[in-house]
Amino acid sequence: MNAVEYAKPQSIDDAIRCLTNAPVGARVLAGGTDLLVQLRAGVVRPPLIVDLKGIAELRRIESTADGFRIGAAVAGAELSEHAEFSSQWPGITEAFNLIGSTQIQGRATLGGNLCNGSPAADSVPALIAAGVRCIVVGPSGSREMAVEDVVTAPGKTVLTTGEFISQFLIPARAAHSGDAYLRFIPRTEMDIAVASAGVCLTLNAAGVCTAARVSLGAVAPRALLVAACADALIGSTLDDAAMAKLAAAASAACAPINDKRGTIEFRTKVAGVLARRAVTIAAQRARGN
Amino acid sequence: MGNEQDALNLVNEQVEYKWVGTRPIRPDGADKVTGRATFGADIDLPGMLTGVVIRSPHAHARIISIDTSAAAALPGVLGIVTGADLPELPNEIAAGGEAPINFRSVSENAIARRKALYDGHAVAAVAATSVEIAHEAAALIKVNYEVLPHVINVLDAMAEDAPVLHDDLITKGLEPAPTKASNIAGKVEFAMGDIEKGFAESDVIIERSYTTEAVHQGYIEPHAVVASVAADGMVNIWCSSQGQFMVREFCAKLLGMDIGRIRVTPAEIGGGFGGKTTVYLEPLAVVLAQKSGRPVRMVMTRGEVMRATGPTSGTHVHVKLGAKRDGTFVAGEMVLKYQAGAYPGSPAFLGGMTGFSCYELPNAKAVCWDVVSNRPKCAAYRAPGAPMASFGVESAIDELAQTLGMDPLELRLKNAAKEGTATIYGPKFLKIGYLETLLAAKAHPHWSAPLGPNQGRGIASGFWFNVGGPSSASVHVNEDGSVSVVTGNPDIGGSRASMAIMAAEVLGMDLSKVKPLIGDTGQIAYSFLTGGSRVTFATGMAVCDAAKDVVRQLRTRAAKMWKVTPEDVEWRDGSAFCTKVEEGKERAPLTLAAIAHGAARTGGPISGNVSINAAGAGPGFGTHICDVEVDPETGATRVIRYTAIQDVGRAIHPSYVEGQLQGGAVQGIGWALNEEYVYDANGRLQNTGFLDYRMPVASDLPMIDTVLVEVPNPGHPYGVRGVGEVPIVPPLAAVANAVSHAVGLRLTSLPISPPKLLAAIDGAKAAG
């Protein structure tokens, strides 16, 4: 019989120690909404599960001078109930809240959604678009990196043995900026993105786009930050020509697969449509800010 | 008892009933909403083992050998079963279940013999003292396969050079019989009139091919069973199924046992929709219990349910419809090719019998092909076979209306079947209510409501026979005047509420004092399974008859108490009234409770026990209206309004009848828009869970409005017609017609999933 060991360290250092000394195949558990499903399906059989929810710093949402510092094990429901955060970053909040159901929202975490490594993770394009960075802790100290640099391929990250994400650093929203996230699913909920787009942009008084970040999900082995999409928007008033250029750039960046959830053609086209629609929402928000 | 005169006396559209047509809380409701109801997986016996099935990872493979020695040596493993443990059955069609059945196929489907014929086909099972040990043992069972070429789709399977699943399968229904085995199990034809002449006389002909994908019944509760063998060899089975007598019969056949040695207790059932009218785990659990001497519980995972149970056929349907310029239908032809899954037995013939049956069509022909391929053996699914044929016919009618510039509802009204209309399968309709459903649709505000941009409206109708058959009921009067109503049919659609209502109505008593129960195979006489929309009709008739017998006995008992003759006693409102006037004798009415209380002095307990073979099931017709909105940039379709109209004969409990209409409509919407089996190049099913097998969720749907049209069935005491199956027939075409109008393109291939619809829209744009 292969038993699964379970540890619930109470500090970051304890957790690092625990993971560093762990047998090969040990897994980190935050919300568990992916890991426990994989465990039950027999996809993974880790000898040890290290639960991070006992670490207070990982469960906190802090408002700082630079924006927000959000613990990697904060649940979706906790984030959406944080009025200040959700009003500043509605795109991130909506993206995170699209994951699963009300019950899942009570458990699912930003750290888990990112480190599970799914190209279709809903919160990830929204975090990338917002320019979010994260703090990685481990046996050789802590380091900071951009969210888009964490995942390398489906299920794979740059994290090494003993490392995990402790917090996300979300910048203060710039003036006249707005973010938005849209995904396509064949149903209205309880589904996984077939294609998705996260957008964050800034407009000046004349309505000209001065900064933009566009990220696409589920159309490549990992979420993409597409510079050509940003280039299509920056300097424009988001007129029809710019929007068409944006959609074309988004579609051009796609490198999707055919699978049970969608075809290459479909994902490629819809990624452009979603990018355009997300820009429209983000621009509305920017004008109101 | 139950004679026609009795029935006719009660059917009266003007009658005011006390309980029939009301909406009391269902008797099984409290247990279900509080989680106390006992389903198949909830049965727990001392010393019980866990059984796990080992399934083929290959779509088509010869089983060279199965080595169970390592698993058997694992401590905690107490039983292993392979195909060698079940008797070989003759290759013959026998009566049983809903349609004629080849028990050899049922047996081989439950556990593979020489070949595994689909991904998920059971090849062995193991019972152990814990679920962990059972899984460990399952991994130790070494099956040596020779992988064979496979075939998944129906047209591919019919091809000359297709890999052949069964080397002894010779197509039935061909003259002369072929000499070579193929995947074509059989051909059946239905015809009336002269279609050649009919098409020659037609001014307009619509001819197209349509396709649908295999879809699963999608019951929430996975299959579950507990089997136990007593010291004397008597077998006890607890399981959720659509018929405890079906489980008993099937297990007896598959295990070579006497029916009398098996007792089956029905658990609560978490959905069946036809998919639980056969056995999968039950015979394996019995053999494991026999081998281990311990009770064995087996519960499927969702993945096992998807890979190895259900579904209904994916189909290729060709329809040709000819009409006069004024819209009068002249001729119709259908060629139906249905996937049977790995063993013969698709419902193609039922598609052929039902597809045209909503209409007066003097010249008609249906050619039905039953084709095997490397997919799970198909099982009944709500009006088996009818929705796919109807999708083709109702789409063709919609296109005909467009071609003729006619309103599609008016076109249907013009050709609607009515009393006396001949059917392609023989009989002429008696009193039916199809026309009434169309008139109700026409009068409904939905039909004339305005539509916005990218929106479309579709209409379609559907027909199902409904059946009767053997049913039994016992009505027991308890000492306090309360009543137990025992029947032999699992309650999958609120039937207990209907049984109680009908008994209370006949007895004239307080409904809250009537307790409906479902007996095991030892407690109630044989009843055919819950299927064919038969229970409220047939078992309800048995309940009415048993209750009438109780009334007769109550009158006799009251007569004894009053020392008058039974003819002097009238039964009304739950009490006996003496009609004999005698000087100086005041005879106050006797309540049911008073008679029950004194029953020991008037002849003993009072009970009515009735077994019937119910005839006179009334056919059902429905008409559905569907509005959709299509996102032209993503191909996403949203159903924004839906109205289901059906002739239900008489609704005993209208809420559960409405629920049937809503549920059928929703399953049909899923079938039309998103549900499908996705196989990879190796014939392995890719979407084995509800995440990627996309049934609609609540937020995908508008409220499904219902209209109950009541044209009472003269063959039932209260006018009941079966209602459960008709509502899944119209939605496929109603949705497809609506989408076709929204995008200005005829959609002929289900599901109309976003990638498929977007490709069609963009393809039409590119073609200019």
Looking at chain A, the whole-number percentage of residues with pLDDT higher than 90 is 96
What distance in Å separates the CA atoms of residue A101 and residue A55, rounded to the nearest whole number? 25
Alpha helices in B563-584 (DSSP H): none
List, in sequence order, every residue forming a beta bridge with A134; answer none if it has no partner. Answer: A145, A168
Place of tokens 């088509």: B60
Same domain as B511, residue B437: no
Set of chain A residues whose Cβ sits within 8 Å of the Cβ of B636: 184, 186
Across the interface, do A269 and B762 touch by the CB < 8 Å criterion?
Answer: yes
As a whole number, mean pLDDT of residues B681-696 equals 96
User: What's the pLDDT tens digit per position in B469-479?
Assistant: 999 999 999 99
The residues near B9 (Cβ < 8 Å, ≥ 6 apart) are none
The one-letter amino acid code at B264 reads: V
What's the structural domain count of chain B? 2
Q: Is residue A261 within 8 Å of residue A273, measured between CB atoms?
A: no
How high is the pLDDT of residue A40? 86
DSSP for B550-564, written as a single string? HHHHHHHHHHHHHTS
B289 Cα to chain A: minimum distance (Å): 24
pLDDT for residue B146 is more than 60: yes
Set of chain A residues whose Cβ sits within 8 Å of the Cβ of B694: 186-187, 191
Give which of B205, B219, B217, B68 is closest to B144, Cα–Cα: B68
Q: Does any CB of chain B come closer than 8 Å to the CB of residue A1?
A: yes
Q: Does any CB of chain B come closer than 8 Å to the CB of residue A3?
A: no
What structural domains does chain A harbor?
5-52 (3.30.43.10), 60-171 (3.30.465.10), 177-288 (3.30.390.50)
Residue B14 confidence class, pLDDT cut points 50, 70, 90: low
Same domain as B582, residue B518: yes
Query: Which of B614, B649, B678 is the endpoint of a domain?
Result: B614
CA-to-CA separations, B765 to A192, A238, B403, B762, in angstroms, rounded: 29, 26, 22, 5
Alpha helices in B57-208 (DSSP H): 69-73, 103-110, 131-140, 154-158, 195-201
User: What's the pLDDT tens digit per position in B15-49?
Assistant: 789 999 999 999 999 999 999 999 999 999 999 99
How high is the pLDDT of residue A2? 64
Number of neighbouring beta carbons within 10 Å of residue B105: 22
Set of chain A residues whose Cβ sits within 8 Å of the Cβ of B133: 1
CATH number at residue B452: 3.30.365.10
pLDDT for residue B5 is more than 70: no
What distance in Å separates the CA atoms of residue B676 and residue B566, rounded to the nearest whole number? 62
Interface A–B counts its CB contacts (< 8 A) at 57
pLDDT for residue A286 is more than 60: yes
As a whole number, mean pLDDT of residues B409-428 equals 97
The residues near B342 (Cβ < 8 Å, ≥ 6 apart) are B109, B117, B118, B121, B165, B372, B373, B374, B375, B376, B377
Nearest CA in chain B to A192: B691
Query: Which of B614, B648, B674 is the endpoint of a domain?
Result: B614
CA-to-CA separations, B231 to A1, B228, B254, B285, in angstroms, rounded: 33, 10, 21, 17
> Is B78 among the domain residues?
no
- Give the best residue of A183, A266, A276, A280 to mutate against chain B (max B CB count within 10 A): A266
Across the interface, do A266 and B755 touch by the CB < 8 Å criterion?
Answer: yes
Q: Does any CB of chain A come closer than 8 Å to the CB of residue B76?
A: no
Tokens of residue B90, six digits: 């003759």
What distance in Å separates the CA atoms of residue B97 and residue B219, rounded to the nearest whole number? 19
Question: Edge to edge, what strands does the sheet with B569-572 contain?
Answer: B569-572, B575-578, B590-591
Q: Which is more confident, B267 or A2?
A: B267
State the average pLDDT for chain A: 96
Q: Is residue B611 within 8 Å of residue B721, measured between CB atoms?
A: no
Least confident segment among A90-99, A194-203, B27-36, B94-103? B94-103
Tokens of residue B421, six digits: 């209309």
Same domain as B643, residue B744: yes
Query: Which of B614, B632, B666 is the endpoint of a domain?
Result: B614
Same domain as B532, residue B647: no
Nearest to B678 among A186, A188, A260 (CB): A260
Residue A289 confidence class, pLDDT cut points 50, 70, 90: confident
How high is the pLDDT of residue B586? 87
DSSP for A45-79, written as a single string? --SEEEEGGG-GGGG-EEEETTEEEEETT-BHHHH
Same domain as B639, residue B503: no
Across the interface, do B634 and A1 touch by the CB < 8 Å criterion?
Answer: no
Question: Edge to edge, what strands does the sheet with A61-64 contain?
Answer: A61-64, A67-71, A164-171, A133-138, A141-146
By DSSP bridging, strand A67-71 and strand A61-64 are antiparallel
How high is the pLDDT of residue B96? 64
How high is the pLDDT of residue B6? 42
How high is the pLDDT of residue B360? 98
ipTM above 0.85, yes or no: yes
B335 Cα to chain A: minimum distance (Å): 30
Nearest to A187 among B678, B687, B696 (CB): B696
Q: Does any CB of chain B come closer than 8 Å to the CB of residue A84?
A: no
The one-letter amino acid code at B196 reads: E
As a whole number, mean pLDDT of residues A16-44 equals 93
> Is B18 among the domain residues?
yes
As a whole number, mean pLDDT of residues A107-130 equals 97
The 3-class secondary structure across B665-685, one letter per residue, is HHHHHHHHHCCCCCECCCCCE
As a whole number, mean pLDDT of residues B314-334 equals 98
Nearest to B758 among A1, A190, A266 (CB): A266
How high is the pLDDT of residue B9? 41
Q: Does any CB of chain A come closer than 8 Å to the CB of residue B762?
A: yes
Across the interface, do A273 and B633 touch by the CB < 8 Å criterion?
Answer: yes
Residue B372 confidence class, pLDDT cut points 50, 70, 90: very high
Looking at chain B, the whole-number percentage of residues with pLDDT higher than 90 is 95
Q: Is residue B341 within 8 Å of residue B377, measured between CB atoms?
A: yes
> Is B449 among the domain residues?
yes
As a whole number, mean pLDDT of residues A261-281 equals 97
- What SS3 class is residue B100? coil
Nearest CA in chain A to B75: A1
Cis peptide before B751 (omega within 30 of 0): yes
pLDDT for residue B3 is more than 70: no
> Is B216 among the domain residues?
no
User: What's the pLDDT tens digit per position in B386-408?
Assistant: 999 999 999 999 999 999 999 99
**For residue B486, what are the domain limits?**
13-37+468-614
Same domain as B700, residue B583: no
Same domain as B458, residue B527: no
Same domain as B600, residue B495: yes
State the average pLDDT for chain B: 96
Give which of B93, B92, B123 is closest to B108, Cα–Cα: B123
Across the interface, do A273 and B634 touch by the CB < 8 Å criterion?
Answer: yes
Q: Is residue A244 within 8 Å of residue A229, measured between CB atoms?
A: no
> Is B190 among the domain residues?
no
Set of chain A residues whose Cβ sits within 8 Å of the Cβ of B696: 187
User: What's the pLDDT tens digit per position in B496-548?
Assistant: 999 999 999 999 999 999 999 999 999 999 999 999 999 999 999 999 999 99
Across the interface, do B699 and A265 touch by the CB < 8 Å criterion?
Answer: no
Set of chain B residues whose Cβ sits within 8 Å of the Cβ of A188: 697, 699-700
B759 Cα to chain A: minimum distance (Å): 8
pLDDT for residue B95 is more than 90: no
pLDDT for residue B1 is more than 80: no
How high is the pLDDT of residue B7? 39
Q: Does any CB of chain B come closer than 8 Å to the CB of residue A219?
A: no
pLDDT for residue A1 is more than 80: no
pLDDT for residue A104 is more than 70: yes
Nearest CA in chain A to B137: A1
Residue B93 confidence class, pLDDT cut points 50, 70, 90: confident
The one-letter amino acid code at B293 reads: G
Tokens of residue B184, six digits: 């074509």
The one-letter amino acid code at B90 reads: P
Across the interface, do B674 and A265 touch by the CB < 8 Å criterion?
Answer: no
How high is the pLDDT of residue B157? 98
Q: Does any CB of chain B come closer than 8 Å to the CB of residue A69?
A: no
Nearest to A186 among B133, B633, B753 (CB): B753
Place of tokens 């003819």: B567
Across the interface, do A184 and B754 touch by the CB < 8 Å criterion?
Answer: yes
Across the interface, do A270 and B758 touch by the CB < 8 Å criterion?
Answer: yes
B459 Cα to chain A: minimum distance (Å): 23
Residue B180 confidence class, pLDDT cut points 50, 70, 90: very high
> Is B125 among the domain residues?
no
User: Cβ-count burial of A1 within 10 angstroms (0-12 exposed, 13-18 middle, 19+ buried)?
Assistant: exposed
By DSSP bridging, strand B620-631 and strand B101-102 are unpaired
Same domain as B714, residue B643: yes
Set of chain A residues whose Cβ sits within 8 Å of the Cβ of B691: 190-192
Same domain as B645, residue B625: yes
Across the interface, do B697 and A187 touch by the CB < 8 Å criterion?
Answer: yes
Nearest CA in chain A to B753: A186
A193 Cα to chain B: minimum distance (Å): 11
User: Cβ-count burial of A80 within 10 angstroms (0-12 exposed, 13-18 middle, 19+ buried)?
Assistant: middle
List, in sequence order, every residue forming a beta bridge with B127; answer none if it has no partner. Answer: B51, B79
> pTM for the complete prediction?
0.96
What distance in Å separates the CA atoms of residue A92 and residue A98, rounded to the nearest whole number? 10
pLDDT for residue A172 is more than 70: yes
Nearest to B634 among A42, A189, A270 (CB): A270
Nearest CA in chain B to A183: B634
> Is B386 among the domain residues?
no
Set of chain A residues whose Cβ sits within 8 Å of the Cβ of B134: none
User: Does an H or E element contain A185, and which?
Assistant: none
What distance in Å separates the CA atoms of residue B181 and residue B169, rounded to the nearest whole number? 5
Q: Does any CB of chain A come closer than 8 Å to the CB of residue B686?
A: yes
As a whole number, mean pLDDT of residues B199-207 equals 98
Nearest CA in chain A to B679: A260
> Is B440 among the domain residues?
yes
Q: Does any CB of chain B come closer than 8 Å to the CB of residue A190?
A: yes
Give which of A47, A49, A78, A46 is closest to A61, Cα–Cα: A78
Same domain as B744, residue B629: yes
Q: Treating both helix axes as pointing N-terminal to C-terminal, what angle do A240-253 and A264-288 enclose, rounded to 10 degrees?
A: 140
Same domain as B629, residue B545: no
Nearest to A265 among B303, B687, B759 (CB): B759
By DSSP bridging, strand B49-55 and strand B296-299 are parallel
A250 Cα to chain B: minimum distance (Å): 15
How high is the pLDDT of residue B98? 62
User: What's the pLDDT tens digit per position in B703-757?
Assistant: 999 999 999 999 999 999 999 999 999 999 999 999 999 999 999 999 999 999 9
